[in-house]
Amino acid sequence: MKRVIFYGLIGGVLLVLLKILEYQYVVRTYPGEIYGGLVAAIFAGLGIYFGRHWSRSREVTVVREVRVPEGEPFTLNAGKLKELGITPREHEILGLIAEGLSNREIGERLRVSENTVKTHSSHVFDKLGVNRRVQAVLKGRELGLIP
């Protein structure tokens, strides 16, 4: 909104200047095309100048406080686990995802195929309402499902 007002004011000032110059020597001496080109060049220059200064992206830093339990042992939120319908195998896979293991590594550790791990992972993601592994781990920790 500020830009619109600013450009309006600049336009008004330029129109006043044009009216002043209209009665003077410049308008009578030079053809209208040159005069119009000059006005267009002024507006183009102003547009480029203000566009470069106002359109720079501003960096935003988000500070979020994260609670870290002080020395308290992890207690599983079994009620939330049951409420979400997460099976013991899905819970185990969520814990292994939190350890940073890949699907192949999880499959090797549990002695199941990689596709089985992917199926269990997608069920966990659906039940937690997330799309990615990192989101699943964060949500799992937030709900007290994994340490």
Neighbours of 42 (CB within 10 A): 13
CA atoms within 13 A on the CB side of 75: 5
As a dihedral over the C-alpha atoms of residue 19, residue 22, residue 26, residue 31, rounded to 10 degrees, the angle is 120
User: What pLDDT was estimated at residue 70?
Assistant: 67
What gap in Å lies between CA 65 and CA 137, rounded to an integer? 18
Q: What is the pTM of this model?
A: 0.52
For residue 53, pLDDT beyond 60: yes
User: What pLDDT was estimated at residue 130?
Assistant: 92
User: What pLDDT was estimated at residue 66?
Assistant: 63
